[in-house]
Amino acid sequence: MTPLQHYLILATVLFFIGGWGVLARRNIILIIMCIELMLNAINIALVAFSNYSPHGAGLGEVFVFFVFALAAAEVAIGLAVAIAQYRLREKLGVDELHDMRG
């Protein structure tokens, strides 16, 4: 059986790739995708914890289902706002977000 650490290393790597993407990318769609990547990294960790946990097995999977549903809702709203932004400015970069300063 694959040790728990392997799953956690995979989750950590994915989490950091996603985190780097959020900070480095300038396109809103890509940032949303990177946030999803981070959420999925946590999902992997949750399922792995659930499988290796002596008690409370299954709770992690349940948690993951909720995270799936909420992540889907989050993307729907993020894309809706991104479309509203695109209609106003014809651009989708975070660098366009500079109406307010101070």
Partner 1 sequence: MDAHDVVALVPELMLVLAAIVLLLVDPLLPRDGRRGLSWLGVAPCVTAIVVTWWTRDEVATYFNGAVVNDRFAVYFKILLLAVAIVAMLLSEKHLHLHDRLLSDYYALVLFTTVGMMVMVAAIDLVTFFVGLELMALSSYILAGFFRYDSKSIEASLKYFLTGSFASVFLLLGMALLYGTTGATSYYAIGDAIAAGDAPESVMVLAVVTLLAGFAYKVAAAPFHNWAPDVYQGSPTPAAAFLSVAPKIAVFATIIRFLTHMLSQQNDIWAPLFIVIAIGTMLIGATMAIVQTDLKRMLAYSSIAHVGYLLLALAAEGYADVSFGKAAILYYLAAYAFMNMGAFGVLVHLANRADFDYSLEKVSGIYRRYPWTAGIMTLFMLSLAGIPPTAGFFAKFYLFAAVVNSGLAWLAVIGVLFSLVSAFYYLRVIVYMYMRDPDTELEELNGRSVDLGAGLGLAALAVVALGIFPGPVLDNAQDAVHKMFTGPQPEAVQEADAAPGAAVAP
Judged by CB under 8 A, does residue 81 bind partner 1? yes
Looking at 5, 90, 95, 99, which residue binds partner 1 (CB under 8 A)?
99
- Backbone phi, psi, residue 93, to 5°: -95, 150
Which tokens go with 73?
């809702």
Q: How many residues bind partner 1 (CB under 8 A)?
A: 40
- Between 13 and 81, whose beta carbon lies closer to partner 1? 81
Judged by CB under 8 A, does residue 56 bind partner 1? yes
Closest C-alpha to 95, from 47, 25, 30: 25
> For residues 26-55, which are near partner 1 according to CB under 8 A?
28, 31-32, 35, 38-39, 42, 45-46, 49, 53-55
Looking at 1, 66, 90, 95, which residue binds partner 1 (CB under 8 A)?
66
